[in-house]
Amino acid sequence: MSENQKKIWITGASSGIGKAVAEKFASEGWKVAVSARRKEILENMAKNQNIFSFPLDVTNQEQINSIFKNILSEFGSLDLCLFSSGTYEPKDEQKIDPEKIRNVINVNFLGVIDCVKAVEEYFKNKKSGHISIVSSIAGYRGLPNSSGYGPSKAALTNFCESIYFDFKKFGVRVSVISPGFIKTPLTEKNEFPMPFLKTVDYAADKVFNGLVKTNAFEIHFPKGLTLTLKFLRILPYKIYLFLVDKLVKR
């Protein structure tokens, strides 16, 4: 390994965007630590000489702290952390189920917060580095059948906006990633048409370029969809709710 080789830790790396991004960074010569609950998938990914498996359940804070220490011990340092763990069950979102919503919040939001907390002191002491979090366009405004997933992503985006200022004082970059519809095991559960549906390879390229080649706070794609939703976000409730209601009834 070259002393100048960049190093990244990615959670939620066993499938979907997380997996594709891990493989993209590895192909670009980065040393990649991958974490998720599915150990077998991570071990298969680690057949790549630049990918290293660190199985992890993000709902276990002690485990997060332990895994982070293990990564630092093996890697020596980290340049970037990408926290992309998430869960989504569309059929569970069609009615209010407090227990299932708690599970979504624990994985999608609180698990990410615990990951950020685990690396906070390291990056602030280092006075450099980058923490990025995968949110979603579902966090822009309330959407039908999204009683848990949407709020969890909205909270993530707000969290990134909040910690941006504190980490900036220490020379640490914070960014948020807001993907549209990407063909993953999670979106395959959707029973409605998904406009601008893109592949995970498309998403991985957008994420890599946004993290490495720009200084953007928000990396969002595809623009045809995200810019439309950004416009809807600024509309008064009366107009927004009317438009969404009409779209749902189509």
Q: What is the per-residue pLDDT for 52?
A: 98
The answer to whether residues 150 and 89 touch, using CB atoms and an 8 Å cutoff, is no
In a domain, 1, yes or no: no
pLDDT by 10-residue block (mean), the chain, 250 residues = 84 94 98 96 97 97 98 97 87 81 94 98 98 95 85 96 98 96 75 79 97 97 94 94 79
In a domain, 200, yes or no: yes
Q: What is the distance between the alpha carbons of residues 246 and 229, in angstroms, rounded to a whole number? A: 15
Q: What is the per-residue pLDDT for 184?
A: 78
Q: What is the per-residue pLDDT for 24?
A: 98
Residue matched to tokens 């039908």: 144
In a domain, 185, yes or no: yes
In a domain, 125, yes or no: yes
In a domain, 78, yes or no: yes
Q: What is the per-residue pLDDT for 183?
A: 84
In a domain, 2, yes or no: no
CA distances from 147 to 79, 91, 94, 236 (A): 35, 11, 7, 21
Q: What is the per-residue pLDDT for 87?
A: 85
The two three-digit tokens of residue 242, written as one number? 């009317």
Q: Supply the range of the domain harboring residue 32.
A: 7-248
Q: What is the distance between the alpha carbons of residues 82 and 26, in angstroms, rounded to a whole number? A: 14
Number of domains in the chain: 1
Q: What is the per-residue pLDDT for 249?
A: 65
CATH, residue 227:
3.40.50.720
In a domain, 204, yes or no: yes
In a domain, 126, yes or no: yes
